[in-house]
Structure 1
Amino acid sequence: MPRPRDLIGSPETEAETPMRRLTATLAALCLTAAPALAQCGGSFGGFVQGLKAEAVAKGHAPASVDRFFAPVRHDPAVIRADRAQGVFQLDFTSFARRLISQNRISAGQANAKKYDAVFDRVEAEYGVSRGVLLAFWAFETDYGAFQGDFNTLNALVTLAHDCRRPELFRPQIFAALTLFEHGDFDPARTTGAWAGEIGMVQMLPGDILENGVDGDGDGHVLLKTSAPDALMSGAKMLRHLGWRAGEPWLQEIVLPAEMDWSKTGLRTTMTPDQWQAMGVRPRSGQWLTGLPASVIIPQGRKGPAFLAYPNFSVYFEWNQSFTYVLTAAYFANRLTGAPVFDAGNPEPGLSGAEMKRLQQKLAARGYDVGDIDGILGAKSREAVQKVQQELGMPADAWPTAALLNRL
């Protein structure tokens, strides 16, 4: 679900990235009681009174609750930002070139050196490579420079009051209240993304409660102002989401001219030896590991190609866009010394309108494409690959004009 640029905070990035976190939704469902899920809408003042009563019922001191909610206001700009999310249609190569600038590479290298001791701790305690965190840090807030200027409490309460996704945002209000009681949240001054995410690596209050780390030893977890806190917390969260310590996440590969393209995609995993037997080889160096991995070709068999290891799946817990995830994983490699990827010569993709027509045709044939929205999501990719097989075309899951014409 695409979100405004201010959530990733880059003036040089015109692309919009999707609102993150399946894990946030799951955490929200765990943090909230069933009766609260239905509480939304109505007058905003009455809604806030209901939140205050629930907070007291949860055991928070009435005086603390009053201070926390005193400055809260409905923010129409938050609703406009939520409704105005643009469609996400850039292909991987275009998106990667837009997000990965020389400035971001140079700043990443400088921050790696500046916080070398912190990254050493991260790698020792959580097994997360510095490149992985640097890439997230860059894409989310340009290394802390652009963290969003929406009042966080106003954003959370406004979105909880709105009845689209109260189950996601309502529990985050009470998590923010707990942070306030710890001295780590100022309801009047804490700002961040329109969706309530805070700090250099953009974490929701519930994520901060669960995975926040006092990286600089000052007794507080302050992700807005402390890079050690942000980096340690981000690493702990990745580990909590399933990151496997010390293992790779992505490796660029070279494909043979012909192979069974239906085996590409995240649904199929094999060992590097098995891929090698099919003619796949690393673009440089040796195979990284004997772990099971998937061949992913984001722009079809003539475009860039990568081997995705188990850690790659953890990226989707942070952000659900395939293109964003692949770009972040690749940028992590670049920041740890990998060369620029080979873009190849992929066949042109479809426009948004053409993609909608293709989705309609696939749906008419009984394929599940998810929403007919002009976006090449996971279900649409799977449907494209299946219909390519059905039509005897190379099943590389890349929709082209030739496929649209065949249908």
Structure 2
Amino acid sequence: MLQRRLFLSILPGLALTRPAAAATSGFDAFLDGVRTDARKAGVSPATLQRALTGLRPNDRVLELDRKQPEGALSWEDYRDRIVSQTRVENGRRHYGESRTLLAAIGTRYRVDPRVIVAIWGMETNFGANTGGFGVIEALATLAWDGRRSSYFRTELIAALKVLDGGHIAPARMKGSWAGAMGQPQFMPTNFERLAVDFDGDGRRDIWDSRADALASIGNYLARNGWRGDEPWGQAVLAPPGFDGERAETDAKRPLRDWSRMGFRRIDGGALPGSEIETSLILPRNGTTQVFLCHHNFRVIRRYNPPVNYALAVGLLSDRFG
């Protein structure tokens, strides 16, 4: 689902190819520089030989990187597509199959296991679609391309360190065209900081170990400030005369204040008189729904920034209870 969303500038109309001889020469020189940087970062010569020998730019990666978006779905269409009955049923099945594991992860990281499963479902359809691009090839292509070379060069060095650490075999190190890896779709620098070895086998295997993949999502949320005793938020009914164009979406107020302003539960009941910090959230390209969300909603957005993504994660997680 997710390519670890990189909100990067897109330059339409650029040629996707260079003269073959110049491209080959330039890419080889680029790889020589990568080898120098990687050795300074502690990557072994053997890993560099195995990972970089014979590497060439991938034109499909460049094409996908430069492809213009074709318009955004409305919130309602996106919600109905993402929070589908099929995904809900699959999520419930996976939740049930991994209940003991998820309970252990929830206890260690104090993160709602339902949210972990929802992110897993959003990112890779519960591990079924982790991407088919070689991570080293994709990152090398994007780093060489030059438009965001510093960012992707850093990710490439981090990916080589992942290989050097023995966490995954080179042939199995697959991911998105942008280099997002494994079931949680971590970029390599996030892997370095946040991936965990939850099954205790000495490797942080977010590709094939469900325990490591789900615990890494939990650790990501925990390290970004998840509050274990708070919900993410809820859909609400707005008061009569509510004008979304003039709504205070930047305001953070106690939930009781929103209740006093006339907001109600989706079933029409009164909101609790709680002190929990709450913000009004309007979906992007939405027409009808309004949400009141809390700190943990912002934590979900640190995993993946789009508002509609975070709302869909919250709604999915509620259906897994």
Same fold (TM over 0.5): yes
Query: Which residues of structure 1 form unaligned runs of 5+?
Result: 1-7, 9-16, 25-40, 337-407
Question: Are 1:335 and 2:316 matched, yes or no?
Answer: no
Question: Are 1:52 and 2:35 matched, yes or no?
Answer: yes
Q: Give 1:65's aligned residue.
A: 48
**Structure 1 residue 335, shift from structure 2 partner:** 2.2
- Look up the SS of the partner of 2:170 in the other structure: coil
Q: Distance in 2 between matches of 1:317 and 1:123?
A: 19
- Of stretches 323-332 and 232-241 in structure 1, the one that deviates more from structure 2 is 323-332
Query: Which residues of structure 2 form unaligned runs of 5+?
Result: 9-23
Aligned partner letter, 1:330? L
Task: Give the TM-score normalised by the residue count of structure 1.
Answer: 0.69
Which of 157, 160, 182 lines up with 2:165 in the alignment? Answer: 182
Aligned partner letter, 1:45? D
Q: Give 1:13's aligned residue.
A: none
The question of whether the paired residues in 2 share the 8 Å contact of 1:250 and 1:306 is answered with yes
Q: Distance in 2 between matches of 1:301 and 1:42?
A: 49
Pair 1:93–1:300, CA change in 2 (3 A): closer
- Look up the SS of the partner of 2:42 in the other structure: coil
Question: Are 1:139 and 2:140 matched, yes or no?
Answer: no
Deviation per CA, 1:44-92: give whole Å up to 9, x if none.
1110011001112233333332233225321111111111242442121
Deviation per CA, 1:2-30: give whole Å up to 9, x if none.
xxxxxx1xxxxxxxx675268x9xxxxxx
Q: Give 1:373's aligned residue.
A: none
Q: Give 2:13's aligned residue.
A: none
Q: Distance in 2 between matches of 1:223 and 1:229?
A: 6
**Structure 1 residue 120, shift from structure 2 partner:** 0.8
**Structure 1 residue 309, shift from structure 2 partner:** 0.4
Q: Distance in 1 between matches of 2:200 and 2:242?
A: 54
**Structure 1 residue 167, shift from structure 2 partner:** 2.5
Task: Give the TM-score normalised by the residue count of structure 2.
Answer: 0.86
Question: Are 1:109 and 2:100 matched, yes or no?
Answer: no
Pair 1:225–1:42, CA change in 2 (3 A): same
The question of whether the paired residues in 2 share the 8 Å contact of 1:253 and 1:306 is answered with yes
Q: Distance in 1 between matches of 2:273 and 2:65?
A: 41
Question: Are 1:89 and 2:89 matched, yes or no?
Answer: no
Q: Distance in 2 between matches of 1:55 and 1:62?
A: 9
- Of stretches 133-142 and 236-245 in structure 1, the one that deviates more from structure 2 is 236-245
Which of 172, 181, 199 lines up with 1:216 in the alignment? Answer: 199
Alignment RMSD: 2.6
Q: Distance in 2 between matches of 1:150 and 1:215?
A: 26
Q: Give 2:275's aligned residue.
A: 290
Which of 230, 249, 264 lines up with 2:247 in the alignment? Answer: 264
Deviation per CA, 1:241-261: give whole Å up to 9, x if none.
222223211112122212475
The question of whether the paired residues in 2 share the 8 Å contact of 1:264 and 1:294 is answered with no
Aligned partner letter, 2:80? R
Give the share of equivalent positions with the same residue, in percent. 31
**Structure 1 residue 283, shift from structure 2 partner:** 2.1
The question of whether the paired residues in 2 share the 8 Å contact of 1:264 and 1:296 is answered with no
Q: Give 2:295's aligned residue.
A: 310
**Structure 1 residue 117, shift from structure 2 partner:** 1.4
Which of 183, 192, 204 lines up with 1:200 in the alignment? Answer: 183
Aligned residues: 305
Deviation per CA, 1:185-229: give whole Å up to 9, x if none.
333442111110111111111111111111222221111111111
**Structure 1 residue 280, shift from structure 2 partner:** 1.0
Pair 1:142–1:299, CA change in 2 (3 A): closer
**Structure 1 residue 115, shift from structure 2 partner:** 0.8
- Look up the SS of the partner of 1:43 in the other structure: helix
Q: Give 1:80's aligned residue.
A: 63
Q: Give 2:134's aligned residue.
A: 151
